[in-house]
Structure 1
Amino acid sequence: MLRLRWWWPRGPVGAVLWLVACSGSPTTQDGKDGKDAEKAATSKPAAKPVPAPVPTPTPPTRALPKTLTRSDAEAKAGEIWADHRQSFYCGCAFTNDRKTVRASCGYKTRANEARAHVIEWTQVVPPSAFGAHRACWTTEACRRDDGTAYGGIECCRSADPVFAAMESDLYNLVPVIGEVIEDRSDHALGEIKGEERLYGACDVEVDTAAGVIEPPERMRGDIARVYLYMRATYGDELHVAPEQWSLLESWNAADPADDWERTRSARIAAVQGQGDPQLAGAPAPAPAPGTPAAAPAEAGSKGAPKQGAPKQGKPKAPPKPAPTDAPAPSE
Protein backbone atom coordinates (compact mmCIF):
# COMPACT_ATOMS: atom_id res chain seq x y z
CA MET A 1 0.00 0.00 0.00
CA LEU A 2 1.34 3.42 -0.94
CA ARG A 3 0.90 6.41 1.36
CA LEU A 4 1.66 10.05 0.45
CA ARG A 5 3.03 12.39 3.10
CA TRP A 6 3.66 16.11 2.74
CA TRP A 7 6.55 17.65 4.60
CA TRP A 8 6.99 21.41 4.78
CA PRO A 9 10.59 22.15 5.79
CA ARG A 10 11.53 25.42 7.39
CA GLY A 11 14.08 26.27 4.76
CA PRO A 12 13.64 27.72 1.26
CA VAL A 13 13.71 24.33 -0.33
CA GLY A 14 9.96 24.42 -0.63
CA ALA A 15 7.47 21.67 -0.46
CA VAL A 16 8.84 18.29 -1.00
CA LEU A 17 6.76 15.36 -1.85
CA TRP A 18 7.76 12.54 0.33
CA LEU A 19 6.86 9.17 -1.04
CA VAL A 20 6.75 6.47 1.46
CA ALA A 21 6.25 2.88 0.43
CA CYS A 22 4.93 0.81 3.22
CA SER A 23 2.55 -1.97 3.91
CA GLY A 24 0.73 -0.27 6.69
CA SER A 25 1.59 1.18 10.00
CA PRO A 26 2.77 -1.19 12.72
CA THR A 27 -0.22 -0.37 14.82
CA THR A 28 -2.69 -1.15 12.06
CA GLN A 29 -0.95 -4.42 11.06
CA ASP A 30 -0.69 -5.60 14.64
CA GLY A 31 -4.40 -5.01 15.08
CA LYS A 32 -5.18 -7.01 11.97
CA ASP A 33 -2.95 -9.88 13.05
CA GLY A 34 -4.59 -9.90 16.45
CA LYS A 35 -8.07 -10.15 14.96
CA ASP A 36 -6.97 -12.97 12.64
CA ALA A 37 -5.47 -14.88 15.56
CA GLU A 38 -8.62 -14.38 17.62
CA LYS A 39 -10.78 -15.54 14.73
CA ALA A 40 -8.61 -18.62 14.19
CA ALA A 41 -8.78 -19.47 17.89
CA THR A 42 -12.56 -19.24 18.05
CA SER A 43 -13.42 -20.87 14.71
CA LYS A 44 -14.19 -24.64 14.66
CA PRO A 45 -12.19 -26.97 12.44
CA ALA A 46 -13.93 -28.31 9.36
CA ALA A 47 -16.16 -31.26 10.24
CA LYS A 48 -15.06 -34.63 8.90
CA PRO A 49 -17.66 -36.62 6.94
CA VAL A 50 -19.53 -39.01 9.22
CA PRO A 51 -20.26 -42.48 7.82
CA ALA A 52 -23.87 -43.64 7.76
CA PRO A 53 -24.78 -45.37 11.03
CA VAL A 54 -25.18 -49.14 10.97
CA PRO A 55 -28.62 -50.17 12.30
CA THR A 56 -28.30 -51.79 15.70
CA PRO A 57 -30.93 -54.36 16.70
CA THR A 58 -32.97 -53.44 19.74
CA PRO A 59 -32.28 -55.81 22.66
CA PRO A 60 -35.24 -58.07 23.42
CA THR A 61 -37.40 -57.13 26.38
CA ARG A 62 -38.33 -60.74 27.13
CA ALA A 63 -36.17 -63.61 28.30
CA LEU A 64 -35.19 -65.76 25.34
CA PRO A 65 -34.41 -69.47 25.37
CA LYS A 66 -30.77 -70.45 25.74
CA THR A 67 -30.39 -71.31 22.09
CA LEU A 68 -27.18 -72.62 20.55
CA THR A 69 -25.28 -71.43 17.52
CA ARG A 70 -26.68 -72.60 14.22
CA SER A 71 -24.11 -75.36 13.72
CA ASP A 72 -24.32 -76.52 17.34
CA ALA A 73 -28.11 -76.54 17.15
CA GLU A 74 -28.04 -78.85 14.14
CA ALA A 75 -25.65 -81.20 15.95
CA LYS A 76 -27.87 -81.21 19.05
CA ALA A 77 -30.97 -81.79 16.93
CA GLY A 78 -29.28 -84.89 15.54
CA GLU A 79 -28.91 -86.20 19.10
CA ILE A 80 -32.51 -85.41 19.99
CA TRP A 81 -33.84 -87.20 16.91
CA ALA A 82 -31.37 -90.11 17.14
CA ASP A 83 -34.06 -92.65 18.07
CA HIS A 84 -36.71 -91.11 15.82
CA ARG A 85 -35.02 -90.83 12.44
CA GLN A 86 -38.02 -89.91 10.30
CA SER A 87 -38.21 -86.92 7.99
CA PHE A 88 -40.64 -84.29 9.26
CA TYR A 89 -43.11 -84.00 6.38
CA CYS A 90 -42.87 -87.32 4.55
CA GLY A 91 -42.06 -89.69 7.42
CA CYS A 92 -39.14 -91.25 5.53
CA ALA A 93 -36.49 -93.09 7.50
CA PHE A 94 -32.94 -91.80 7.23
CA THR A 95 -29.52 -93.11 8.13
CA ASN A 96 -27.06 -91.84 10.70
CA ASP A 97 -25.30 -89.83 7.97
CA ARG A 98 -28.65 -88.31 6.90
CA LYS A 99 -29.30 -90.29 3.73
CA THR A 100 -32.96 -90.73 2.82
CA VAL A 101 -34.28 -94.30 2.84
CA ARG A 102 -36.86 -93.63 0.14
CA ALA A 103 -38.20 -97.17 0.06
CA SER A 104 -39.39 -96.72 3.65
CA CYS A 105 -41.99 -94.14 2.62
CA GLY A 106 -42.53 -94.53 -1.12
CA TYR A 107 -40.83 -91.22 -1.89
CA LYS A 108 -40.26 -90.39 -5.55
CA THR A 109 -38.05 -87.60 -6.82
CA ARG A 110 -39.85 -84.67 -8.41
CA ALA A 111 -36.89 -82.89 -10.00
CA ASN A 112 -33.77 -82.64 -7.83
CA GLU A 113 -32.32 -86.13 -7.55
CA ALA A 114 -29.30 -85.09 -5.49
CA ARG A 115 -31.29 -83.32 -2.76
CA ALA A 116 -33.94 -86.04 -2.72
CA HIS A 117 -31.30 -88.37 -1.27
CA VAL A 118 -30.26 -86.05 1.56
CA ILE A 119 -31.89 -85.05 4.86
CA GLU A 120 -31.22 -81.46 5.91
CA TRP A 121 -32.06 -79.54 9.08
CA THR A 122 -34.44 -76.70 8.35
CA GLN A 123 -36.97 -74.40 10.00
CA VAL A 124 -40.71 -75.10 10.20
CA VAL A 125 -41.34 -71.34 10.41
CA PRO A 126 -39.24 -70.00 7.50
CA PRO A 127 -36.62 -67.35 8.32
CA SER A 128 -38.40 -64.80 6.13
CA ALA A 129 -41.29 -64.79 8.64
CA PHE A 130 -39.01 -63.38 11.34
CA GLY A 131 -36.31 -61.75 9.22
CA ALA A 132 -37.76 -60.02 6.16
CA HIS A 133 -38.86 -56.97 8.19
CA ARG A 134 -35.55 -56.51 10.02
CA ALA A 135 -32.96 -53.84 9.16
CA CYS A 136 -30.24 -56.47 8.83
CA TRP A 137 -32.33 -58.14 6.10
CA THR A 138 -33.56 -55.09 4.19
CA THR A 139 -30.38 -52.97 4.24
CA GLU A 140 -26.68 -53.63 3.73
CA ALA A 141 -26.03 -53.18 7.43
CA CYS A 142 -23.04 -55.54 7.71
CA ARG A 143 -19.45 -55.23 6.53
CA ARG A 144 -17.06 -57.95 5.48
CA ASP A 145 -13.38 -57.87 6.37
CA ASP A 146 -12.63 -56.24 3.02
CA GLY A 147 -15.22 -53.50 3.67
CA THR A 148 -17.88 -54.89 1.34
CA ALA A 149 -21.41 -54.16 2.56
CA TYR A 150 -24.02 -56.91 2.65
CA GLY A 151 -27.45 -57.65 4.09
CA GLY A 152 -30.08 -60.38 4.04
CA ILE A 153 -30.15 -63.59 6.04
CA GLU A 154 -26.35 -63.78 6.29
CA CYS A 155 -26.17 -60.34 7.92
CA CYS A 156 -29.03 -61.16 10.31
CA ARG A 157 -27.25 -64.31 11.46
CA SER A 158 -24.17 -62.35 12.46
CA ALA A 159 -25.63 -59.02 13.60
CA ASP A 160 -29.08 -59.70 15.09
CA PRO A 161 -29.14 -61.94 18.21
CA VAL A 162 -32.94 -62.26 18.22
CA PHE A 163 -32.97 -63.48 14.62
CA ALA A 164 -30.13 -65.89 15.35
CA ALA A 165 -32.02 -67.29 18.34
CA MET A 166 -35.20 -67.80 16.33
CA GLU A 167 -33.37 -69.50 13.47
CA SER A 168 -31.52 -71.95 15.72
CA ASP A 169 -34.35 -72.61 18.20
CA LEU A 170 -34.56 -76.39 18.47
CA TYR A 171 -38.36 -76.33 18.48
CA ASN A 172 -38.23 -74.80 15.01
CA LEU A 173 -35.54 -77.14 13.65
CA VAL A 174 -36.59 -80.41 11.98
CA PRO A 175 -35.14 -82.97 9.51
CA VAL A 176 -36.59 -82.66 5.99
CA ILE A 177 -35.73 -84.13 2.59
CA GLY A 178 -33.64 -81.55 0.74
CA GLU A 179 -35.87 -81.49 -2.33
CA VAL A 180 -38.95 -80.79 -0.19
CA ILE A 181 -37.08 -77.92 1.52
CA GLU A 182 -36.31 -76.42 -1.88
CA ASP A 183 -39.94 -76.65 -3.00
CA ARG A 184 -41.38 -75.54 0.34
CA SER A 185 -39.41 -72.27 0.15
CA ASP A 186 -41.27 -69.67 2.22
CA HIS A 187 -44.72 -70.47 0.79
CA ALA A 188 -47.81 -69.87 2.89
CA LEU A 189 -49.50 -72.86 4.49
CA GLY A 190 -52.86 -73.88 3.07
CA GLU A 191 -55.10 -76.61 1.72
CA ILE A 192 -54.96 -77.20 -2.03
CA LYS A 193 -58.00 -78.54 -3.86
CA GLY A 194 -57.50 -81.25 -6.46
CA GLU A 195 -53.81 -81.43 -5.70
CA GLU A 196 -51.30 -83.57 -7.51
CA ARG A 197 -48.93 -85.86 -5.64
CA LEU A 198 -45.47 -84.69 -6.61
CA TYR A 199 -43.38 -86.94 -4.38
CA GLY A 200 -44.92 -90.38 -4.74
CA ALA A 201 -46.52 -91.57 -1.51
CA CYS A 202 -45.32 -88.49 0.39
CA ASP A 203 -48.49 -86.46 0.93
CA VAL A 204 -47.04 -82.98 0.41
CA GLU A 205 -48.56 -80.74 -2.25
CA VAL A 206 -47.10 -77.49 -3.55
CA ASP A 207 -48.82 -74.88 -5.70
CA THR A 208 -45.87 -72.79 -6.82
CA ALA A 209 -48.00 -70.32 -8.79
CA ALA A 210 -50.17 -69.54 -5.75
CA GLY A 211 -47.26 -69.77 -3.31
CA VAL A 212 -49.00 -72.36 -1.12
CA ILE A 213 -47.88 -75.64 0.43
CA GLU A 214 -50.20 -78.27 1.90
CA PRO A 215 -48.56 -80.61 4.44
CA PRO A 216 -49.89 -84.09 5.32
CA GLU A 217 -52.85 -84.16 7.70
CA ARG A 218 -50.89 -86.18 10.25
CA MET A 219 -48.30 -83.37 10.55
CA ARG A 220 -50.55 -80.30 10.54
CA GLY A 221 -50.91 -80.14 14.31
CA ASP A 222 -47.15 -80.51 14.76
CA ILE A 223 -46.57 -77.61 12.37
CA ALA A 224 -49.22 -75.48 14.06
CA ARG A 225 -47.72 -76.00 17.50
CA VAL A 226 -44.27 -74.92 16.29
CA TYR A 227 -45.78 -71.69 14.95
CA LEU A 228 -47.74 -71.14 18.17
CA TYR A 229 -44.64 -71.79 20.26
CA MET A 230 -42.65 -69.26 18.23
CA ARG A 231 -45.39 -66.67 18.68
CA ALA A 232 -45.62 -67.30 22.43
CA THR A 233 -41.83 -67.10 22.82
CA TYR A 234 -40.86 -64.27 20.46
CA GLY A 235 -44.07 -62.25 20.20
CA ASP A 236 -44.13 -59.51 17.57
CA GLU A 237 -40.72 -60.57 16.25
CA LEU A 238 -42.74 -63.07 14.18
CA HIS A 239 -44.65 -61.66 11.19
CA VAL A 240 -47.36 -64.06 10.00
CA ALA A 241 -50.58 -63.12 8.20
CA PRO A 242 -53.74 -63.19 10.38
CA GLU A 243 -55.46 -65.74 8.14
CA GLN A 244 -52.52 -68.08 8.68
CA TRP A 245 -53.09 -68.01 12.43
CA SER A 246 -56.75 -68.97 11.98
CA LEU A 247 -55.72 -71.96 9.88
CA LEU A 248 -53.01 -72.97 12.36
CA GLU A 249 -55.41 -72.81 15.30
CA SER A 250 -57.76 -75.19 13.50
CA TRP A 251 -54.90 -77.56 12.70
CA ASN A 252 -53.78 -77.49 16.31
CA ALA A 253 -57.26 -78.50 17.48
CA ALA A 254 -57.75 -81.21 14.85
CA ASP A 255 -54.37 -82.92 15.33
CA PRO A 256 -53.41 -83.19 19.03
CA ALA A 257 -49.86 -83.68 20.26
CA ASP A 258 -48.57 -87.25 20.35
CA ASP A 259 -45.96 -88.97 22.50
CA TRP A 260 -43.05 -88.07 20.22
CA GLU A 261 -43.86 -84.35 20.38
CA ARG A 262 -43.88 -84.52 24.17
CA THR A 263 -40.64 -86.48 24.29
CA ARG A 264 -38.95 -84.07 21.89
CA SER A 265 -40.21 -81.06 23.84
CA ALA A 266 -38.81 -82.43 27.09
CA ARG A 267 -35.41 -83.06 25.51
CA ILE A 268 -35.30 -79.56 24.03
CA ALA A 269 -36.30 -77.97 27.34
CA ALA A 270 -33.33 -79.70 28.98
CA VAL A 271 -31.05 -77.90 26.50
CA GLN A 272 -32.68 -74.48 26.11
CA GLY A 273 -34.05 -74.06 29.62
CA GLN A 274 -37.61 -73.44 28.45
CA GLY A 275 -40.34 -75.85 27.49
CA ASP A 276 -43.19 -75.48 25.05
CA PRO A 277 -46.04 -73.91 27.06
CA GLN A 278 -48.55 -75.90 25.01
CA LEU A 279 -46.98 -79.10 26.33
CA ALA A 280 -46.66 -77.93 29.93
CA GLY A 281 -48.30 -81.13 31.11
CA ALA A 282 -45.76 -83.28 29.32
CA PRO A 283 -44.24 -86.16 31.28
CA ALA A 284 -40.69 -86.17 32.59
CA PRO A 285 -37.97 -86.20 29.93
CA ALA A 286 -37.93 -89.42 27.99
CA PRO A 287 -35.04 -91.82 28.53
CA ALA A 288 -31.97 -91.57 26.37
CA PRO A 289 -31.98 -93.24 22.95
CA GLY A 290 -31.58 -97.00 23.21
CA THR A 291 -33.84 -97.42 26.24
CA PRO A 292 -36.80 -99.75 25.50
CA ALA A 293 -39.99 -97.83 24.79
CA ALA A 294 -42.95 -97.97 27.16
CA ALA A 295 -46.01 -100.03 26.30
CA PRO A 296 -48.43 -98.22 23.96
CA ALA A 297 -51.33 -96.39 25.55
CA GLU A 298 -54.77 -97.94 25.40
CA ALA A 299 -57.24 -96.62 22.86
CA GLY A 300 -58.98 -93.50 24.07
CA SER A 301 -56.22 -92.50 26.48
CA LYS A 302 -54.40 -89.16 26.24
CA GLY A 303 -51.37 -90.76 24.62
CA ALA A 304 -53.32 -92.79 22.05
CA PRO A 305 -52.11 -92.57 18.44
CA LYS A 306 -53.67 -89.96 16.20
CA GLN A 307 -56.46 -90.78 13.83
CA GLY A 308 -55.47 -91.37 10.22
CA ALA A 309 -52.05 -92.43 9.07
CA PRO A 310 -49.97 -92.88 12.23
CA LYS A 311 -46.45 -91.58 12.51
CA GLN A 312 -43.82 -94.19 11.98
CA GLY A 313 -41.91 -95.25 15.02
CA LYS A 314 -38.64 -97.01 15.46
CA PRO A 315 -39.33 -100.77 15.66
CA LYS A 316 -38.69 -102.25 19.07
CA ALA A 317 -35.65 -104.51 19.18
CA PRO A 318 -36.38 -108.19 19.94
CA PRO A 319 -35.50 -109.38 23.46
CA LYS A 320 -31.94 -110.57 23.86
CA PRO A 321 -31.57 -114.36 24.36
CA ALA A 322 -30.43 -115.56 27.75
CA PRO A 323 -26.69 -116.36 28.01
CA THR A 324 -25.93 -120.01 27.23
CA ASP A 325 -24.03 -120.45 30.49
CA ALA A 326 -26.89 -119.14 32.62
CA PRO A 327 -28.57 -121.65 34.96
CA ALA A 328 -31.85 -123.08 33.79
CA PRO A 329 -34.90 -121.36 35.26
CA SER A 330 -36.52 -123.14 38.17
CA GLU A 331 -39.90 -124.76 37.66
Structure 2
Amino acid sequence: MDVLINVLLMIGGAVTVFFFGRSIFGMLFSMDSQRQYQKRMRQLQFTNEGESQSDGTADAINTVTTPIIRYVLPKLRPRDKEQLAKDLKIAGWDKTYSPDQFIAMNILLKMIGVVLGGAVGFLVSPLLGGILFLALFFGFTFLFNNSLKEKKTKIFREFPNFIRIVQGYLTAGIPIAKAIEQSLPYMSPEWQKIMKNFVINTNLSSVQDAIVILNQEVDIFEVQEFFSLIRLNLEQGINIKESFEGQREKVIDMQLEVMLEAIGRRQMMATILQGPLLLTMIVGFGLPIFYSMFTFTSV
Protein backbone atom coordinates (compact mmCIF):
# COMPACT_ATOMS: atom_id res chain seq x y z
CA MET A 1 0.00 0.00 0.00
CA ASP A 2 2.82 2.37 0.89
CA VAL A 3 4.57 1.49 -2.37
CA LEU A 4 1.40 2.31 -4.33
CA ILE A 5 1.07 5.66 -2.56
CA ASN A 6 4.72 6.50 -3.25
CA VAL A 7 4.30 5.59 -6.93
CA LEU A 8 1.17 7.77 -7.20
CA LEU A 9 2.96 10.66 -5.49
CA MET A 10 5.92 10.30 -7.87
CA ILE A 11 3.63 10.24 -10.90
CA GLY A 12 1.67 13.25 -9.60
CA GLY A 13 4.89 15.13 -8.89
CA ALA A 14 6.26 14.35 -12.34
CA VAL A 15 3.05 15.54 -14.00
CA THR A 16 3.05 18.69 -11.93
CA VAL A 17 6.70 19.45 -12.75
CA PHE A 18 6.02 18.75 -16.45
CA PHE A 19 3.08 21.15 -16.73
CA PHE A 20 4.80 23.77 -14.54
CA GLY A 21 7.96 23.59 -16.60
CA ARG A 22 5.95 23.71 -19.80
CA SER A 23 4.13 26.86 -18.69
CA ILE A 24 7.37 28.50 -17.52
CA PHE A 25 9.23 27.73 -20.75
CA GLY A 26 6.24 28.81 -22.78
CA MET A 27 6.09 32.12 -20.93
CA LEU A 28 9.85 32.66 -21.32
CA PHE A 29 9.83 31.91 -25.04
CA SER A 30 6.74 34.06 -25.47
CA MET A 31 8.44 36.95 -23.69
CA ASP A 32 11.57 36.43 -25.76
CA SER A 33 9.55 36.44 -28.97
CA GLN A 34 7.77 39.60 -27.87
CA ARG A 35 11.09 41.27 -27.07
CA GLN A 36 12.51 40.27 -30.45
CA TYR A 37 9.40 41.64 -32.17
CA GLN A 38 9.61 44.95 -30.30
CA LYS A 39 13.34 45.15 -31.01
CA ARG A 40 12.79 44.64 -34.74
CA MET A 41 10.04 47.24 -34.80
CA ARG A 42 12.25 49.77 -33.01
CA GLN A 43 15.09 49.07 -35.42
CA LEU A 44 12.82 50.10 -38.28
CA GLN A 45 12.41 53.57 -36.77
CA PHE A 46 14.99 56.12 -37.91
CA THR A 47 16.05 59.51 -36.70
CA ASN A 48 15.93 62.69 -38.78
CA GLU A 49 19.51 62.06 -39.91
CA GLY A 50 18.57 58.57 -41.17
CA GLU A 51 20.39 56.66 -38.47
CA SER A 52 18.61 54.00 -36.46
CA GLN A 53 18.09 54.83 -32.82
CA SER A 54 19.96 52.89 -30.19
CA ASP A 55 17.52 50.75 -28.25
CA GLY A 56 19.84 49.35 -25.58
CA THR A 57 19.16 52.20 -23.16
CA ALA A 58 15.44 52.12 -23.90
CA ASP A 59 15.30 48.38 -23.21
CA ALA A 60 17.16 48.79 -19.92
CA ILE A 61 14.90 51.64 -18.80
CA ASN A 62 11.80 49.70 -19.82
CA THR A 63 13.00 46.65 -17.88
CA VAL A 64 13.74 48.43 -14.60
CA THR A 65 10.68 50.72 -14.65
CA THR A 66 7.99 48.25 -15.72
CA PRO A 67 7.45 46.72 -12.22
CA ILE A 68 7.08 50.17 -10.64
CA ILE A 69 4.73 51.35 -13.40
CA ARG A 70 2.62 48.23 -13.00
CA TYR A 71 2.46 47.89 -9.21
CA VAL A 72 3.48 51.20 -7.59
CA LEU A 73 2.21 54.04 -9.80
CA PRO A 74 -1.49 52.99 -9.66
CA LYS A 75 -1.34 53.42 -5.87
CA LEU A 76 0.24 56.88 -6.04
CA ARG A 77 -0.95 60.25 -7.21
CA PRO A 78 1.74 61.26 -9.70
CA ARG A 79 2.44 64.72 -11.04
CA ASP A 80 0.62 66.19 -14.03
CA LYS A 81 1.60 63.81 -16.85
CA GLU A 82 0.50 66.19 -19.59
CA GLN A 83 2.78 68.95 -18.33
CA LEU A 84 5.54 66.42 -17.71
CA ALA A 85 5.26 65.20 -21.31
CA LYS A 86 5.71 68.79 -22.53
CA ASP A 87 8.73 69.31 -20.28
CA LEU A 88 10.31 66.03 -21.42
CA LYS A 89 9.90 67.06 -25.05
CA ILE A 90 11.42 70.52 -24.49
CA ALA A 91 14.34 69.06 -22.53
CA GLY A 92 14.91 66.38 -25.19
CA TRP A 93 14.30 63.54 -22.71
CA ASP A 94 11.17 62.30 -24.51
CA LYS A 95 13.30 60.00 -26.69
CA THR A 96 14.43 58.11 -23.59
CA TYR A 97 11.58 58.43 -21.08
CA SER A 98 7.83 58.44 -21.26
CA PRO A 99 6.07 60.30 -18.41
CA ASP A 100 5.38 57.01 -16.59
CA GLN A 101 8.97 55.83 -17.07
CA PHE A 102 10.34 59.14 -15.80
CA ILE A 103 8.22 58.99 -12.62
CA ALA A 104 9.11 55.31 -12.11
CA MET A 105 12.83 55.96 -12.58
CA ASN A 106 12.68 58.84 -10.12
CA ILE A 107 11.00 56.61 -7.52
CA LEU A 108 13.47 53.78 -8.15
CA LEU A 109 16.52 56.01 -7.72
CA LYS A 110 15.10 57.48 -4.51
CA MET A 111 14.58 53.95 -3.13
CA ILE A 112 18.12 52.95 -4.13
CA GLY A 113 19.46 56.16 -2.59
CA VAL A 114 17.79 55.42 0.75
CA VAL A 115 18.95 51.78 0.87
CA LEU A 116 22.44 52.23 -0.57
CA GLY A 117 23.13 55.50 1.23
CA GLY A 118 22.06 54.01 4.55
CA ALA A 119 24.15 50.88 4.02
CA VAL A 120 27.28 52.80 3.01
CA GLY A 121 26.78 55.28 5.84
CA PHE A 122 26.47 52.47 8.39
CA LEU A 123 29.25 50.22 7.06
CA VAL A 124 31.79 52.62 5.52
CA SER A 125 31.37 56.31 6.28
CA PRO A 126 28.41 58.51 7.25
CA LEU A 127 29.75 61.31 5.06
CA LEU A 128 30.09 59.06 2.00
CA GLY A 129 26.67 57.57 2.70
CA GLY A 130 25.14 61.03 2.92
CA ILE A 131 26.73 62.12 -0.35
CA LEU A 132 25.54 58.95 -2.07
CA PHE A 133 22.03 59.41 -0.67
CA LEU A 134 21.79 63.02 -1.85
CA ALA A 135 23.19 62.18 -5.30
CA LEU A 136 20.70 59.35 -5.91
CA PHE A 137 17.72 60.92 -4.16
CA PHE A 138 17.88 64.38 -5.75
CA GLY A 139 20.32 63.97 -8.67
CA PHE A 140 17.87 62.68 -11.29
CA THR A 141 15.34 65.48 -10.75
CA PHE A 142 18.11 68.07 -10.53
CA LEU A 143 19.59 67.00 -13.88
CA PHE A 144 16.19 67.06 -15.56
CA ASN A 145 15.23 70.47 -14.19
CA ASN A 146 18.65 71.85 -15.14
CA SER A 147 18.34 70.47 -18.68
CA LEU A 148 14.80 71.84 -18.99
CA LYS A 149 15.83 75.29 -17.77
CA GLU A 150 18.83 75.35 -20.11
CA LYS A 151 16.71 74.47 -23.15
CA LYS A 152 14.07 77.08 -22.29
CA THR A 153 16.81 79.66 -21.83
CA LYS A 154 18.28 78.83 -25.24
CA ILE A 155 14.86 79.01 -26.89
CA PHE A 156 14.11 82.38 -25.29
CA ARG A 157 17.60 83.71 -26.01
CA GLU A 158 17.29 82.93 -29.73
CA PHE A 159 13.67 84.10 -29.99
CA PRO A 160 14.56 87.68 -31.08
CA ASN A 161 16.87 86.32 -33.78
CA PHE A 162 14.08 84.05 -34.99
CA ILE A 163 11.71 87.03 -35.31
CA ARG A 164 14.35 89.08 -37.11
CA ILE A 165 15.13 86.30 -39.62
CA VAL A 166 11.49 85.54 -40.44
CA GLN A 167 10.66 89.24 -40.65
CA GLY A 168 13.22 89.65 -43.44
CA TYR A 169 11.38 87.09 -45.58
CA LEU A 170 7.96 88.55 -44.72
CA THR A 171 9.16 91.97 -45.86
CA ALA A 172 9.75 90.45 -49.31
CA GLY A 173 6.08 89.46 -49.46
CA ILE A 174 6.57 85.72 -48.77
CA PRO A 175 3.73 83.96 -46.84
CA ILE A 176 4.53 83.08 -43.25
CA ALA A 177 4.65 79.29 -43.71
CA LYS A 178 7.04 79.63 -46.66
CA ALA A 179 9.04 82.32 -44.86
CA ILE A 180 9.57 80.07 -41.84
CA GLU A 181 10.50 77.14 -44.09
CA GLN A 182 13.13 79.20 -45.91
CA SER A 183 14.45 80.59 -42.60
CA LEU A 184 15.20 77.15 -41.13
CA PRO A 185 18.90 77.01 -42.16
CA TYR A 186 19.59 80.28 -40.33
CA MET A 187 17.90 79.37 -37.04
CA SER A 188 19.44 77.91 -33.91
CA PRO A 189 19.14 74.11 -33.45
CA GLU A 190 16.38 74.57 -30.84
CA TRP A 191 14.28 76.73 -33.13
CA GLN A 192 14.96 74.50 -36.11
CA LYS A 193 13.40 71.59 -34.25
CA ILE A 194 10.36 73.64 -33.22
CA MET A 195 9.83 75.17 -36.65
CA LYS A 196 10.24 71.89 -38.52
CA ASN A 197 7.28 70.55 -36.58
CA PHE A 198 5.46 73.83 -37.27
CA VAL A 199 6.00 73.53 -41.03
CA ILE A 200 4.84 69.89 -41.00
CA ASN A 201 1.69 70.78 -39.05
CA THR A 202 1.07 73.71 -41.42
CA ASN A 203 1.18 71.40 -44.43
CA LEU A 204 -1.07 68.86 -42.71
CA SER A 205 -3.74 71.31 -41.51
CA SER A 206 -3.37 75.10 -41.38
CA VAL A 207 -1.21 77.85 -39.95
CA GLN A 208 -3.73 78.53 -37.17
CA ASP A 209 -3.78 74.89 -36.07
CA ALA A 210 0.01 74.71 -36.26
CA ILE A 211 0.23 77.74 -33.94
CA VAL A 212 -2.11 76.07 -31.45
CA ILE A 213 0.08 72.94 -31.42
CA LEU A 214 3.26 75.04 -31.07
CA ASN A 215 1.84 76.93 -28.07
CA GLN A 216 0.96 73.62 -26.44
CA GLU A 217 4.48 72.26 -26.92
CA VAL A 218 6.54 75.36 -26.07
CA ASP A 219 5.77 76.34 -22.50
CA ILE A 220 7.32 79.83 -22.64
CA PHE A 221 5.00 82.78 -22.04
CA GLU A 222 6.66 85.25 -24.43
CA VAL A 223 6.65 82.74 -27.29
CA GLN A 224 3.03 81.75 -26.66
CA GLU A 225 1.96 85.39 -26.49
CA PHE A 226 3.71 86.25 -29.76
CA PHE A 227 2.25 83.35 -31.75
CA SER A 228 -1.21 83.85 -30.23
CA LEU A 229 -1.09 87.43 -31.53
CA ILE A 230 -0.10 86.16 -34.99
CA ARG A 231 -2.98 83.68 -34.93
CA LEU A 232 -5.39 86.46 -33.95
CA ASN A 233 -4.14 88.68 -36.78
CA LEU A 234 -4.55 85.82 -39.25
CA GLU A 235 -8.13 85.29 -38.16
CA GLN A 236 -8.84 89.02 -38.50
CA GLY A 237 -7.15 89.26 -41.91
CA ILE A 238 -4.36 91.59 -40.74
CA ASN A 239 -1.07 91.48 -42.63
CA ILE A 240 1.46 89.27 -40.80
CA LYS A 241 4.31 91.58 -41.82
CA GLU A 242 2.68 94.37 -39.81
CA SER A 243 2.38 92.01 -36.83
CA PHE A 244 6.11 91.31 -36.89
CA GLU A 245 6.92 94.98 -37.30
CA GLY A 246 4.63 95.81 -34.39
CA GLN A 247 6.74 93.54 -32.20
CA ARG A 248 9.93 95.52 -32.88
CA GLU A 249 10.00 97.25 -29.49
CA LYS A 250 9.19 94.02 -27.67
CA VAL A 251 12.01 92.26 -29.52
CA ILE A 252 14.44 95.01 -28.47
CA ASP A 253 13.26 94.64 -24.86
CA MET A 254 13.74 90.87 -25.04
CA GLN A 255 17.24 91.26 -26.45
CA LEU A 256 18.07 93.67 -23.61
CA GLU A 257 16.63 91.23 -21.08
CA VAL A 258 18.71 88.39 -22.51
CA MET A 259 21.87 90.51 -22.35
CA LEU A 260 21.15 91.59 -18.77
CA GLU A 261 20.50 87.98 -17.79
CA ALA A 262 23.81 86.88 -19.31
CA ILE A 263 25.67 89.70 -17.53
CA GLY A 264 23.98 88.85 -14.24
CA ARG A 265 24.86 85.17 -14.63
CA ARG A 266 28.52 86.02 -15.28
CA GLN A 267 28.61 88.35 -12.28
CA MET A 268 27.13 85.62 -10.09
CA MET A 269 29.69 83.09 -11.32
CA ALA A 270 32.50 85.56 -10.69
CA THR A 271 31.21 86.14 -7.15
CA ILE A 272 30.92 82.42 -6.49
CA LEU A 273 34.45 81.74 -7.75
CA GLN A 274 35.95 84.42 -5.52
CA GLY A 275 35.42 82.28 -2.40
CA PRO A 276 37.42 79.20 -3.52
CA LEU A 277 40.11 81.41 -5.09
CA LEU A 278 40.49 83.40 -1.87
CA LEU A 279 40.62 80.20 0.20
CA THR A 280 43.27 78.76 -2.14
CA MET A 281 45.39 81.91 -1.82
CA ILE A 282 45.10 81.84 1.98
CA VAL A 283 46.11 78.19 2.10
CA GLY A 284 48.95 78.78 -0.37
CA PHE A 285 50.42 81.66 1.63
CA GLY A 286 49.68 80.08 4.99
CA LEU A 287 51.24 76.66 4.48
CA PRO A 288 54.89 77.86 4.71
CA ILE A 289 54.06 79.81 7.87
CA PHE A 290 52.34 76.84 9.51
CA TYR A 291 55.21 74.60 8.45
CA SER A 292 57.76 76.97 10.03
CA MET A 293 55.72 77.19 13.22
CA PHE A 294 55.45 73.42 13.62
CA THR A 295 59.13 72.96 12.77
CA PHE A 296 60.12 75.59 15.34
CA THR A 297 57.89 73.99 17.98
CA SER A 298 59.37 70.56 17.36
CA VAL A 299 62.89 71.98 17.68
Q: TM-score of the superposition, structure 2-length normalised?
A: 0.18
Q: Which has the larger radius of gyration?
A: 1
* Structure with bigger RCO (C-alpha 8 Å, 6+ apart): 1
Q: TM-score of the superposition, structure 1-length normalised?
A: 0.17
Please state which structure has a larger fraction of its residues in strand. Answer: 1
